[in-house]
A and B are shown apart, each in its own frame.
Chain A
Amino acid sequence: MEARRIDSGKIAEVSHGLERTEVERREKVFSVTDLSVAYSGNVALEGVNLDVHKQTVTAFIGPSGCGKSTFIRCFNRMNDLVPSARVSGTVLYHGEDLYARDVDSVEIRRRIGMVFQKPNPFPKSIYDNIAFGPRVLSMEGSLDERVEQALRRAALWDEVKDRLKDGALGLSGGQQQRLCIARALAVEPDVILMDEPASALDPISTTRIEDLMHELKRDYTIIIVTHNMQQAARVADMTAFFSVIVDEDGGGRRGVLVEYDSTTKIFTTPSDKRTEDYVTGRFG
């Protein structure tokens, strides 16, 4: 049966993202197999399988409570910081088990950076914010150079170059978020995770962040969580739609991966009805 074509005029412009074949030609950065996460025994996310490819933008979308934030935190082992969290299944990073016993999670986080929903600059100067990562990781090379290049890559250099010693908390919301991106870039990551990076920002700042993502995708692999479908349509090459399953008896809620495909396909001819319902705004 031919998949019905949704009137794509109903959703915002789908980006000129990569075709699926092109994406899959690239090296696999992450390979997730049967991943589940439970907090104190309550399953939050179940049975996820997907691959993330190099130098692409992958978006996780879905209604609130579907586990997308929990999932993205599996990629840099931030769930380790939550004592009640249990992660099962496999996550391969460039072919190696990310959760193997003897893996150094500190080094993981250097390579797989994260930007949070609410910008969280440290209560220090702009310079010290960017320099924090290189300092604690004892990175070699000129610190001044690193700071400048990180700020340039985050499209913030021109705005702050004359006031690097000023407090970071004095910046606007959009600037603070770009500062957080620069901070992550300064430690030479390979992947950047973004958990709803623009949801706390105004539309103009949001656009700047999205433009930045297009720039950064040339060098980095980017995974973003967003509740804004139009944003996913604008920036992502591949999109994964998550949804919630409610247990009839227990009433517990579990997140599951419903569909994972190129953005164009998800937003124009989704295979699963739930995806179609979400994407056309019928729920969520």
Chain B
Amino acid sequence: MPLRETAPKLDPEQYERNFADIKPAMSPRQAAIEATRCLYCFDAPCTIACPTHIDVPVFIKKISTENLRGSARVILTANILGESCGRVCPTEVLCEGACVMHEKGQAPIEIGRLQRYAVDYVRERKIQLFRSGASNGRRVACIGAGPASLACATELAKWGYEVTVLDANELPGGLSTYGIAAYKTRAADSIREVDMIRDLGVTFRQKVQVGRDIAFADLEKQFDGIFIGVGLGETGELKLPGEDLQGVYGAMEFIEKTKIEPFPQIEIGRRVACIGAGNTAIDVVTAARRLGAEVVYLIYRRGPQDASAFEYELELAKKDSVVFLWQTQPVGILGREGVVTGLECVRTSLGPGDGKRRRTPEPVSGTEFTLEVDMVVRAVGQKPVTEFLKGVKGLELNPNATVRINDRHQTGNPKYFAGGDCTNGGKEVVDAVAEGMTAARGLDTWLGSPLGGQSSNEPARDVAR
């Protein structure tokens, strides 16, 4: 990767320390102490706040009684990606944000870490909690192997459907594998979760792009129902001069490198500018610092109050000594011999606004300045995969290019259901899981609940291997 100047390599062990789990695993003692702190609320706010409505007090109570298998069953029944969610969920705005302990003037229960603790227990012991249901003779395809598809496939497999997941990437897992900061979850964690779903009899076909490698018409012939969980696509452009220079990256492309390549092999500029202030931008700037970049700028044309990143995420970047340039707008990327050398910026002032929408930033003339940088990362949101979606006959799109669905997550083409980022425009893993599960129920109902469908979903007894 030709960059003008790359940051010096770190000690190999330093990379591992820098990307160590930000929510580390709990020891049995820590988990026991934390679990006994839980008040076992009735109609608990944490459960209500969780998009998949995991019965949090119940699974925590089971940890305190050392019934970890039962605890994991509660979690994974509600959310098959319970381990991922324990690691990556923005718990401070979901379950932990709703915890009654805040009102008691105490730290909320560490629900995310307890969740991971219980799921780790069954995974490490290879305890299989669920089995596929007796075959109902119906076949469903899930396009995409991200959280929404995985959740949908799991539910359907448990009810006796023959499920095939078709995914364009080399590895399954979608954003959990490729697109979330490595200190939250590693690709291997996500792939292990996929293996658990594979054990339910779900077939995974990787590097298959529907519409190119297999025609939609063929798919429709082979399967009784189809779920679309393709997420979003590439990072949007800045539309600035110099954007095609070497050293300019999209956020997803950059994060993917940190997930797939060994850390020491990743070239990182000495000075890195990231444009945008969402949660993805935080993943970029923290990863850049942890890979050894000396100065990392986070550039945003509005102020911190308008940043879409969660407060907790902004704190992470602050702790990593990221330089925040608020009310700063990039106007051009400078280069020499085709390689990035700098970023031209201008300060902005925020217009008066109407009290409803965010105030519009206006460049302030005379405040132009140039940052000397070796790398520029665009983190201004992912583009929808409109071309792909156009391949599905009868599919309707919303004005923001998300897939239009009804409350059962059925699309304009009744054979197709959809969920996750491609329908919600980009939310959390846990939202995708909830939507995938809703779509599975929708599909099952639409297909007439063969053999009783979801109603026959008796919780499977454990099969210890």
Q: Do A and B come from one complex?
A: no
Q: State the B residues within 8 Å of A (CB).
A: none
Q: State the A residues within 8 Å of B (CB).
A: none
